[in-house]
Amino acid sequence: MKTIQIVATLLVLGVNTCLAQTNKSSSKDSKTYAEISVKEGGKWEGNKYIGGTFKNIQSLKIAPKQTDHLEIIRYEGPGWESNKIAYRLYLDWRNAIDIFGKKTDAVILPLVGQVGSDSYHNMQDWGCDILNSGKGIGIGSINRYLNNEKLHFREVDSTLAKVENKVSESTVTINYYGWKTASDKIDFTSKLSIIPDQRYTKHTIQASKEIKGICTGIVKQKNAEFLKKESVNKKWAYIATYGTQSVIPDQLGMAIFYEINTVESIENTELDYLLVFKPTTKLNSYYFLATWEQEKDGIKSKEAFMKYLDEKLVFLNKKNKL
């Protein structure tokens, strides 16, 4: 019953926002797209929302202690994509980012999860969910690492998610109000943006207070090799994994590019490879990406993956941005 009350609040807070999709979402020529979609018109049976139809909204405010697998938000949170790849964020205590591999350069997110989660866990004409995050961080998302423990978003006063689509990019912005971990309580902002013809997401974050342990990272998978490299001027670096680590299984590469002077440590934990940031209230931007061998013109070998990453690192070394 408590869970139902929580999500009922979610519906009251979220569905009263604009229910119209942006004009860009229906354009066949769109190369980027972001959305968030919530069910209406159904009913609760236990802890599941049965029936109803999904409606796209531009913003969604969810109640404290939101939980997972309630089937009220389509594919469990906001999604964003380019013509290369798609990502989604679990908008609950896990706060992990997952990957949808695309076999097409068309916009696919409006098709995903319309008939339940089983549909996107199985191969479709457009592709499928290719990452098993489990209890890990996924790729490029935020947690807190303190005293050898990863702290999630289990206590948050409220969370506001917004999506925006422009010709040049699509963005998802998440505002976490009153995120409590250990003895600290902060507000936290996360902006995820993607541009045409690229696999990477630019993730810009900001904390309201300086606290230790804010981290991002890459979930560990079997049969994947850990890679890392610094740029010539020691300004930018990347951590990455490559191998037969998709759920298919087939070749999947994941990487995070970061400014060296923003990172306090790299942690090799049981579940994840983590980048722990130095405490700051300043804006901090980093980039994460995934490459899947079945994508159109996909990267199919470790050598090609490393060449691709090295080219991005050289560009960052010269331009200080992607």
Residue for token digits 């706060």?
A: 95
Integer Cα distance of 104 and 256 in angstroms:
24
Integer Cα distance of 322 and 258 in angstroms:
11
Count Cα atoms within 13 angstroms, Cβ side, for 6. 20
The pLDDT profile of the chain, 322 residues, written as one tens digit per residue, is 334 333 434 443 443 333 333 334 444 578 999 999 999 898 878 777 788 899 999 999 986 655 666 678 999 999 999 999 999 999 999 999 999 999 999 999 999 999 866 789 999 999 999 999 999 999 999 999 999 999 999 999 999 999 999 999 999 999 999 999 999 999 999 999 999 999 999 999 999 999 999 999 999 999 999 999 999 999 999 999 999 999 999 999 999 999 999 999 999 999 999 999 999 999 999 999 999 999 999 999 999 999 999 999 999 999 999 9
Number of domains in the chain: 1
Tell me, what CATH number does 32's domain have? 2.70.98
Could you tell me the pTM of the whole model? 0.91
The one-letter amino acid at 142: I
Q: What domain range is 135 assigned to?
A: 2-319
